[in-house]
A and B are shown apart, each in its own frame.
Chain A
């Protein structure tokens, strides 16, 4: 999941590589466009996020999210929460519990995506 954390610095590198030549500028524009598209909220990398949910949230909640040290995260157990509440829990954690804040590692858009994914996932 290092890719999530490292994407933004990569983007900055591209954007600051100023060059005079037309070809270079065209290439840069293309690169920026590609990069910008990759970051737009509606085109988050769902595979990377799914992987994060199952592998890393899964450390406590189980690979199939059936629960472990942390609670069961399948939709039937979450449906009384709305996505906004879940997004807040993901970003800021729950004090005095083992749920850590994920804000240092993911963006608000990514947290929202995860909240919606948790509420909508197929029952496994």
Chain B
């Protein structure tokens, strides 16, 4: 009798397991840039689960997640916008919406997906459900630094004209606010997790420009306008990235441009609080979610190295070489591990952020961006 019950229980368990819904909270996608595929990964198991192919040119691709962490919207370099269902592991919709695109964002309510385009320059906004275009916002410029902001808004910036526009979709048709004089050649931007401060990095001049999105009429605020004065500029072989997580404690940590250092800026006063000299031109300066560490990778030809900076002392506490062409780093949501894509090793490497021990290598084809589903709940990601 006992045996029978056990057998029954086992059978039931197996049936349940087969019908069990997929929990997506610890999943993620890795961009395989050369192949045009994404790799579905499981953060807890440190494993690849499936490869989803047919997404076009994914060099410099990124993605955002639907609020339910089921769908990923992948922004390809070739203008492709692909909606991937990570539960069924399939592409459910795909449109080629422009000739040359550079990232996107999803509105706070999850209903609109916006794509930033180089060619034709501007932003196009799509229904997240159907991928039908709901708004076309030409800007006559390459458009960078597109983020979502609270109140069903998108904020983006023009490389050529140095303007930032705020597109407010709260009443249906977008109301556009244009802010001029943000600086020469803004190359990327970030929004803080609370949705208040938007910061653009400038390539054409020293410094950064911030906007207080809580202000009635946001005005450009110059940040560190002279940070490189008197120092010789070094060639920049890859533009740095700014990302919402680069906030450590009460400070932003941002890559300098043309100088081998990261800059620390007080989040309230937007004044400099320090600098840390680094191994090369920083590309990403990513704060661990608790803000205690900042992990930095570098531009070609020093892109085999990662440095870890202590968030309190601002000193480098660890340096290592994961392998050739470290392109991106993604922390687990509570920061205990970091996943690092090493393009030319064709591997994603997983490290413990306390001991710095390597925990796993996962095969991936020319991996670049790594995106965990927890991003679904973060403004600006």
Name 18 interchain pairs, CB-CB below 8 A, sorted by A.
Answer: A1-B325, A2-B301, A56-B237, A56-B238, A56-B300, A59-B237, A59-B299, A60-B238, A62-B100, A63-B57, A63-B77, A66-B78, A67-B118, A68-B60, A68-B100, A68-B118, A69-B102, A93-B235
Query: Does B100 lie within 8 Å of A66, measured CB to CB?
Result: yes
Query: Does A63 lie within 8 Å of B59, measured CB to CB?
Result: yes
Query: Does A2 lie within 8 Å of B239, measured CB to CB?
Result: no
CB of B331 within 8 A of chain A?
Answer: no
Query: Does B304 lie within 8 Å of A2, measured CB to CB?
Result: yes
CB of B293 within 8 A of chain A?
Answer: no
Residue of A nearest to B185 (CB): A98
Of the residues A60, A64, A93, A101, contact of B57 by C-beta under 8 Å? A64
Residue of A nearest to B58 (CB): A63
CB of B374 within 8 A of chain A?
Answer: no
Of the residues A58, A104, A105, contact of B59 by C-beta under 8 Å? A58
Query: Does A1 lie within 8 Å of B34, measured CB to CB?
Result: no
Interface size class of B (residues with CB under 8 A): 20 to 34
B60-92: CB near A (< 8 Å → 1, else 0) gives 100000000000000001100000000000000
CB of A85 within 8 A of chain B?
Answer: no
Chain A contact residues: helix, strand, loop or mixed: loop
Residue of B nearest to A93 (CB): B235
CB of B198 within 8 A of chain A?
Answer: no
Residues of A within 8 A of B238 (CB): 56, 59-60
Bound Cα distance from A67 to B60, whole angstroms: 12
Residue of B nearest to A106 (CB): B301
Bound Cα distance from A2 to B323, whole angstroms: 11
Residues of A within 8 A of B100 (CB): 62, 66-68
Residues of A within 8 A of B59 (CB): 58, 62-64
Bound Cα distance from A64 to B78, whole angstroms: 10
Query: Does A63 lie within 8 Å of B34, measured CB to CB?
Result: yes
Q: Which of B142, B204, B235 has the most CB atoms of chain A within a 10 A radius of its CB? A: B235
Query: Does B239 lie within 8 Å of A69, measured CB to CB?
Result: yes
Bound Cα distance from A10 to B325, whole angstroms: 21
Query: Does A98 lie within 8 Å of B239, measured CB to CB?
Result: yes
Residues of A within 8 A of B102 (CB): 68-69
Residues of B within 8 A of A93 (CB): 235
CB of A46 within 8 A of chain B?
Answer: no
Bound Cα distance from A78 to B199, whole angstroms: 35
CB of A5 within 8 A of chain B?
Answer: yes
CB of B228 within 8 A of chain A?
Answer: no
